[in-house]
A and B are shown apart, each in its own frame.
Chain A
Amino acid sequence: MDLTLVGQGLLSGFLFGGVYSLMAVGLTLIFGVMRVVNFAHGDMMVWGMYLAWLLSIRAGIDPYVGFLVCAAALFFFGLLIQRGLVERIVDAPHEMQILLMLGVALVLENAALVAFGPDPARVRSPLSQATVWIGPIFVDVARLVTFGLAMALTAALWLFLARTDLGRSMRAAADNPYGARVIGTDVRRVYAAAFGVGAACVGAAGALVSPILPFQPTSGLGLSVTSFNIVIIGGMGSLPGAFVGGILVSVAESMGAVFLSPSMKELVSFGLLIAILLFRPAGLFGKAAG
């Protein structure tokens, strides 16, 4: 076995894990606070990617700057979706929520198809072709930057939840919505903010991975599935779980590609998922139910 290849695989997998983590953070936040499974997650991310693409080709804004705009746009979109749709089904059974969110996903996907056409797109950034070489091993600068930003965003989100009033209200509403109401929390407002912040994370994630991953209107489902895989492995609703889960899944896939065959790498990540479901159903960082 070629040691350079193993080292390169580990490093590439680890850095690409940042991309995966960023994808999963928004999903886990929305689920953690509202217990709503956002099946439109991947399609919202695709819209984040297309926004970054529009900013890049129309205004010449690099996605590593433009991601802030995408996050803001998706924040308001999330607010709208929450106020208009999700609010009506927060207390409905899970299958109702899933149907609604799948409906939103279909609308988003086909709206993107009408607006942008079917061709795969890619945002060009000077960073996306840059590499740094350490001996025989190379570091992909775009992934390094994405990894750093993913860490910073997760940390900021964690601080927001732990230190701010709104963040505390979110955690209170997540723990016990009834209790939160009793002590005077406007749960409706908190939910809207949580969905907005979750969507903003998704938008930022979309923009930040747009120079790395080519995308097309149909990419949403694959992104959703990967994100769900990560979130379940890390623990539904857990921020550190999403972060560590992303890195774990990415490194596992990369090692699968090195030691098995690349076409079997998804076997490794989904095998990991099955193992977690069997032996630790709440996920690595999840609290056991009850």
Chain B
Amino acid sequence: MTARRRPENTSRRTFLKTAGAAAGTAVVAGFPAVLHAQAPTVKIGTLHCVTGPLAEPGQACRLGAQMAADAINAAGGIKSMGGAKIELLLGDTQTKADVARAEAERLINAGAQLLMGTFNSGDTAAVVPVAQQRRVPFLVDISAADPITANVAKSVRDGQQKVQYVYRNFPTGTLFGQRAVQYFTEIFKESGVSPKRVVLMHANDLFGQNQARGFQAAHKAANPSWEIVEVISWPEPPSDLSTEVSRAKAAKPDVIAPITRPASAQLLLPEIAKQRLDIMGIVGPGSPGLYEAGQIAALKENLEYVMASNPWPNFKNARTRQVAEEYTKRSGGKTFDTNSGYSYDGMFVLADTLERAKSTDPDTVVDALKKTRFTGGLMVYGGPIMFNEIGDNPNAIPAMIQILGQKPVVVWPKDVAAEKLVFPRPKR
């Protein structure tokens, strides 16, 4: 009976090592699960914005999830379930909330036992009611808007719903805001300068508004020595940001804090350069658009020295570097970053949950999810992956990254920093 070989004395760490090592090879013939005439499968529906305005990060998420599923399957699948393989059912939200909802229904009808997604907060919020109604555990791999989990947690607390099926392994807007305010203050202190006037500029979609609110609330609570002197928002995607930047300039800022999307970042940063804002630097409280390989290629010197507080892969971990290398190969030259990384980790969190639940029964899965203490993540975390009473992971934290020599590197907090930060930016 080799088919039932359970790695009784194998720790999660070595299991993950094996998983990572096996990921690069296609040799699975020797694995016991194959001996089963019909290997059981677990169907996981992954929903991402693979087309539409946010297609670039959405495709990164999908590839991250696929690579993780491949790695898990190559290492023998879910062992406690007889080596069950993960079968991904792929969904595309098209970056539209109504489509996201319909796609979630479609995947569940096609047999999805778990859901993961979606990157865009607006789309994720539309999937939540479907997951709750159809009783399908839904792990949010990326989406920062607080209400996504908070609303469900509240209705469960109030007795309107019995079980919470929605959990999130990603920083919330509130947490983003708290960390950003903390990092801003620490970075200013570390650099020995005291900027006073910060102008917050943000996209006004659900994500952008939520991030801005989180930042402002955290600023109010921390009451640091710097002020937010003006808040400027734009409709996303914008066609022109010159007047917005003129308005920011009129507020005489020391620092611009942008919350962008890839398209708006491509308008905003050149405009800031053109209008010659006399600032110490551009420091983002957390948003896409400021670090991706495609953005760096398009914006070049306009992105140099820009900082952003973002969830980031922990490149001090050897396995992260190995997966990142494979990701670059499979994506045709893109970098392993926030989006691919969190979707990769999300899939492993689901696999770990199933391993402990030994079943796909939704309530058993939820019980196992709540007890999660997963330490095999590739991103920078403040502790093991776990879920609090709201269903969020309090240890999902951002790090401050900076574009130095046209490459994004972690510069803060100090213990995970790969290079020394440059602030204020050199005068041109």
Interface of A toward B, CB cutoff 8 Å: 2, 4-5, 8-9, 12-13, 16, 110, 113, 117-122, 124, 128-129, 131, 138, 140, 213-214, 216-219, 222, 226, 250, 253-254, 257-258, 261-263, 265-266
Residue B133 at the A interface, CB < 8 A?
no
Q: Could you tell me if A129 and B243 are in contact, using CB atoms closer than 8 angstroms?
A: no
Q: Among B267-275, B278-286, B311-319, which stretch is in contact with chain A?
A: B267-275
Query: In whole angstroms, how far apart are the Cα atoms of A117 and B292 in the complex?
Result: 14
Residue B52 at the A interface, CB < 8 A?
yes
List 8 A-B residue pairs with CB atoms under 8 Å apart, sorted by A's residue number. Answer: A2-B250, A12-B240, A118-B58, A119-B294, A120-B263, A122-B299, A216-B263, A261-B232
The B interface is mostly helix, strand or loop, or mixed, namely helix
A121 CB contacts on chain B under 8 angstroms = 298
Q: Could you tell me if A16 and B274 are in contact, using CB atoms closer than 8 angstroms?
A: no
Name the CB-closest residue of B to A1: B250
Q: Could you tell me if B275 and A138 are in contact, using CB atoms closer than 8 angstroms?
A: yes
Query: In whole angstroms, how far apart are the Cα atoms of A110 and B92 in the complex?
Result: 14
Query: In whole angstroms, how far apart are the Cα atoms of A40 and B351 in the complex?
Result: 45
B129 CB contacts on chain A under 8 angstroms = none
Residue B4 at the A interface, CB < 8 A?
no
B300 CB contacts on chain A under 8 angstroms = 124
Name the CB-closest residue of B to A2: B250
The 9 closest A-B pairs by CB, nearest first: A118-B55, A214-B266, A119-B294, A257-B243, A263-B233, A12-B242, A263-B204, A8-B246, A5-B250
Q: Could you tell me if A218 and B204 are in contact, using CB atoms closer than 8 angstroms?
A: no
Residue B360 at the A interface, CB < 8 A?
no
Q: Could you tell me if A113 and B55 are in contact, using CB atoms closer than 8 angstroms?
A: yes
Q: Could you tell me if B262 and A119 are in contact, using CB atoms closer than 8 angstroms?
A: yes
Residue B41 at the A interface, CB < 8 A?
no
Besides A8-B246, A118-B58, A119-B298, 16 new A-B residue pairs in contact (Cβ under 8 A), listed by A number:
A12-B246, A13-B243, A113-B51, A119-B294, A120-B263, A129-B274, A140-B274, A217-B55, A218-B53, A218-B55, A222-B237, A253-B243, A258-B243, A262-B234, A262-B244, A265-B235
Q: Could you tell me if B250 and A138 are in contact, using CB atoms closer than 8 angstroms?
A: no
Q: How far is the CB of A25 from chain B (nearest CB, A)?
A: 17
Interface of B toward A, CB cutoff 8 Å: 51-53, 55-56, 58-59, 95, 204, 232-235, 237, 239-240, 242-244, 246-247, 250, 262-263, 266-267, 270, 273-276, 292, 294-295, 298-300
Q: How far is the CB of B404 from chain A (nearest CB, A)?
A: 21
Query: In whole angstroms, how far apart are the Cα atoms of A119 and B295 in the complex?
Result: 8
A120 CB contacts on chain B under 8 angstroms = 56, 262-263, 266, 294-295, 298
Q: How far is the CB of A157 from chain B (nearest CB, A)?
A: 23
Counting chain B CB atoms within 10 Å of each CB, which of A214, A219, A254 scores highest?
A214
Q: Could you tell me if A129 and B55 are in contact, using CB atoms closer than 8 angstroms?
A: no
Q: How far is the CB of A102 from chain B (nearest CB, A)?
A: 16
B299 CB contacts on chain A under 8 angstroms = 122
Query: In whole angstroms, how far apart are the Cα atoms of A186 and B246 in the complex?
Result: 53
Query: In whole angstroms, how far apart are the Cα atoms of A266 and B242 in the complex?
Result: 15
Q: How far is the CB of B280 from chain A (nearest CB, A)?
A: 21
B237 CB contacts on chain A under 8 angstroms = 219, 222
Name the CB-closest residue of B to A267: B235
Q: How far is the CB of B158 from chain A (nearest CB, A)?
A: 33
Known contacts A5-B247, A128-B270, A262-B233: A16-B240 contact under CB 8 Å: yes
Among B51, B235, B243, the residue within 8 A (CB) of A118 is: B51
Known contacts A128-B270, A218-B55, A263-B234: A254-B243 contact under CB 8 Å: yes
Q: How far is the CB of A78 from chain B (nearest CB, A)?
A: 24
Q: How far is the CB of A113 from chain B (nearest CB, A)?
A: 6
Known contacts A214-B267, A266-B235: A257-B247 contact under CB 8 Å: yes
B240 CB contacts on chain A under 8 angstroms = 12, 16, 213, 250, 253-254
Counting chain B CB atoms within 10 Å of each CB, which of A5, A119, A217 scores highest?
A119
B59 CB contacts on chain A under 8 angstroms = 118
Query: In whole angstroms, how far apart are the Cα atoms of A263 and B55 in the complex?
Result: 23
Q: Could you tell me if A218 and B234 are in contact, using CB atoms closer than 8 angstroms?
A: no
Q: Could you tell me if A122 and B52 are in contact, using CB atoms closer than 8 angstroms?
A: no
Q: Could you tell me if A12 and B53 are in contact, using CB atoms closer than 8 angstroms?
A: no
Q: Could you tell me if B298 and A263 are in contact, using CB atoms closer than 8 angstroms?
A: no
Q: How far is the CB of A53 from chain B (nearest CB, A)?
A: 10
Among B235, B246, B262, B292, the residue within 8 A (CB) of A9 is: B246
Query: In whole angstroms, how far apart are the Cα atoms of A16 and B292 in the complex?
Result: 28
Name the CB-closest residue of B to A258: B243
Q: How far is the CB of A226 from chain B (nearest CB, A)?
A: 7
B295 CB contacts on chain A under 8 angstroms = 120
A117 CB contacts on chain B under 8 angstroms = 56
Q: Could you tell me if B56 and A119 are in contact, using CB atoms closer than 8 angstroms?
A: yes
A140 CB contacts on chain B under 8 angstroms = 242, 274
Q: Could you tell me if B270 and A129 are in contact, using CB atoms closer than 8 angstroms?
A: yes
Q: Could you tell me if A263 and B235 are in contact, using CB atoms closer than 8 angstroms?
A: yes
Query: In whole angstroms, how far apart are the Cα atoms of A253 and B232 in the complex?
Result: 15
Name the CB-closest residue of A to B54: A118
A219 CB contacts on chain B under 8 angstroms = 237, 263
Query: In whole angstroms, how far apart are the Cα atoms of A138 and B277 in the complex?
Result: 12
Name the CB-closest residue of A to B261: A120
B294 CB contacts on chain A under 8 angstroms = 119-120
Known contacts A214-B266, A262-B234: A12-B243 contact under CB 8 Å: yes
Among B51, B56, B273, the residue within 8 A (CB) of A129 is: B273
Among B55, B242, B266, B292, the residue within 8 A (CB) of A122 is: B266
B53 CB contacts on chain A under 8 angstroms = 216, 218
Known contacts A113-B51, A213-B267, A261-B233: A226-B56 contact under CB 8 Å: no
Query: In whole angstroms, how far apart are the Cα atoms of A226 and B299 in the complex?
Result: 26
A214 CB contacts on chain B under 8 angstroms = 263, 266-267, 298
B239 CB contacts on chain A under 8 angstroms = 213, 222, 226
Q: Could you tell me if B243 and A9 are in contact, using CB atoms closer than 8 angstroms?
A: yes
Name the CB-closest residue of A to B273: A129
Q: How far is the CB of B288 from chain A (nearest CB, A)?
A: 11
B56 CB contacts on chain A under 8 angstroms = 117-120
Q: How far is the CB of A171 from chain B (nearest CB, A)?
A: 32
